[in-house]
Structure 1
């Protein structure tokens, strides 16, 4: 009696691997469209080739395990798409040449989402951190002044670094002028709760600083005319992936500074 042939079990590539391929392909698309004429030392063709080779290798590994890549085309492109008129720069902020970037252009707004180093022995209580953390000194060494002569800085803070951030903002030449609270919502528009040290957290804070030409240290500069009566200090936005901030913060910036330029300094895993 012949044994019944067992069907070959196909191993599906993990969604993480598929998403990683999608991110790399999106990066390639934006690099092709970017204008890097100002950066003579950037080997754009080499960067694109390396990314394409990485994607090819990942596909081959999946197919060698009888993986099914049909789901690859169905991934949400919007999850990884870089905003319009934007160029992603994947780099280490500790070594990036901010001075070279500042020679090319200055920015009206700087948005910082630092990868804060959590001091607690159990900082996340089981929630894995998907990015490298930096100590305060590394964050303090980021020369944001090289890319902005005058304008606003927005910095997302955690409770334990609030006072430190205000002081560091002054050292960078900014005056603390306001803060924005992001109230986190679920897809059903209910309050989203996160782990906290004493209480559960349902919000995040973004502090706002301003630097004006000729501004005296510690002086509170008057807001630009375009800023007045346009912004609000509370955002009700849906909680998305780990470390992703609400789209509403960028809409707020665009409403108060139309046609302005924004430079985002963020951790790997955050939005573009």
Structure 2
């Protein structure tokens, strides 16, 4: 039908046989269906022509250049013979966030006796307004929460470290009641309802974070030294308190610890 119509139009307008051939070729053409599973290769010629793209400077928000040019916060490292008997006045300041690693526990003690060494550390003077982050074994949770509440700190959140053995299996360490495979980082904040004056501490800038609250990481410990904690611990704290650089304190830090913006206090031969 299309062929006949084309012939009539060509004869009427004098287009000749060329139009008929074009229509016939159009009818005979096969439509190629693309294979959705086929691999298409697009090769960019080298060198890349200037017309394909132009180099631009990366976007820098207003004021970001001044921040980038600011000097890196310094790290302070201190070694003490006895953490519980130390005079922390020599540090000369208070802190916005205090991280307490393992090392404060009294082995074999139960209940309030397990935190007797921790109770001697002047946490209230070191962090009068701010946050306390403390690694706690499950057998000491009740005693630690009781002590921190007594000092005027309220529970906020926690982070769990599932400990991995060298063979990439979950660690099963001995414990009084059941095997232990994790440590919990409890987060406390100085509570206005308990001890703080009205409005005190509300000027601390907090930032919502999307860091995971469960970490899987290996145990890194040298003989006679404090166990190093996962690096994500510091990332989570620094994200939560973006203005806390040089206001962070780590107690029972590993020997030789160093991180910009932190004061590390280690125990000799811990």
TM norm structure 2: 0.54
Q: Gaps (5+ residues) in structure 1?
A: 1-83, 121-133
Tell me: CA distance 1:152–1:230, structure 2 relative to 1, closer, same or farther (3 Å).
farther
The alpha-carbon deviation at position 268 of structure 1 amounts to 6.6
Relative to its length, the structure with more helix (as a share) is 1
Matched, 1:216 2:193: yes
The 8 Å contact of residues 185 and 237 in structure 1, kept in 2 or not, is answered as: yes
2: CA distance between counterparts of 1:185 and 1:268?
19
Structure with greater Cα Rg: 2
The alpha-carbon deviation at position 171 of structure 1 amounts to 2.0
Which residue number corresponds to residue 238 of structure 1? 218
The 8 Å contact of residues 230 and 255 in structure 1, kept in 2 or not, is answered as: no
* CA deviation profile, 1:153-178 (whole Å, cap 9, x unmatched): 01111222110100111122211112
Which residue number corresponds to residue 159 of structure 1? 138
Please identify, of 104-113 and 179-188, the stretch whose mean Cα deviation from structure 2 is larger.
179-188
The alpha-carbon deviation at position 259 of structure 1 amounts to 4.4
Q: Gaps (5+ residues) in structure 2?
A: 1-72, 258-263, 265-270
The 8 Å contact of residues 94 and 128 in structure 2, kept in 1 or not, is answered as: yes
The 8 Å contact of residues 106 and 149 in structure 1, kept in 2 or not, is answered as: yes
Please identify, of 152-161 and 225-234, the stretch whose mean Cα deviation from structure 2 is larger.
225-234
1:31-70 equivalences under 5 Å are none
1: CA distance between counterparts of 2:115 and 2:149?
15
Which residue number corresponds to residue 75 of structure 2? 86
2: CA distance between counterparts of 1:117 and 1:270?
24
> SS state of the match for residue 90, structure 1?
strand
Tell me: higher relative CO, structure 1 or 2? Use CA pairs within 8 A at least 6 residues apart: 2
**Which residue, 121, 130, 147 being the options, matches 1:142?**
121
TM norm structure 1: 0.54
2: CA distance between counterparts of 1:194 and 1:182?
14
Which residue number corresponds to residue 67 of structure 2? none
Tell me: CA distance 1:149–1:228, structure 2 relative to 1, closer, same or farther (3 Å).
same
* CA deviation profile, 1:205-255 (whole Å, cap 9, x unmatched): 11110015xx01199x99966332444321222221162222221121122
Which residue number corresponds to residue 89 of structure 2? 99
Which residue number corresponds to residue 58 of structure 1? none
> SS state of the match for residue 196, structure 1?
coil
Tell me: CA distance 1:183–1:98, structure 2 relative to 1, closer, same or farther (3 Å).
same
The 8 Å contact of residues 95 and 126 in structure 2, kept in 1 or not, is answered as: yes
The 8 Å contact of residues 244 and 270 in structure 1, kept in 2 or not, is answered as: no
The alpha-carbon deviation at position 196 of structure 1 amounts to 2.5
1: CA distance between counterparts of 2:169 and 2:138?
23
> SS state of the match for residue 89, structure 1?
strand
- The count of corresponding residues between Structure 1 and Structure 2 is 172
The alpha-carbon deviation at position 191 of structure 1 amounts to 2.1
RMSD: 3.2
Tell me: CA distance 1:106–1:88, structure 2 relative to 1, closer, same or farther (3 Å).
same
Tell me: CA distance 1:190–1:229, structure 2 relative to 1, closer, same or farther (3 Å).
same
Which residue number corresponds to residue 252 of structure 1? 236
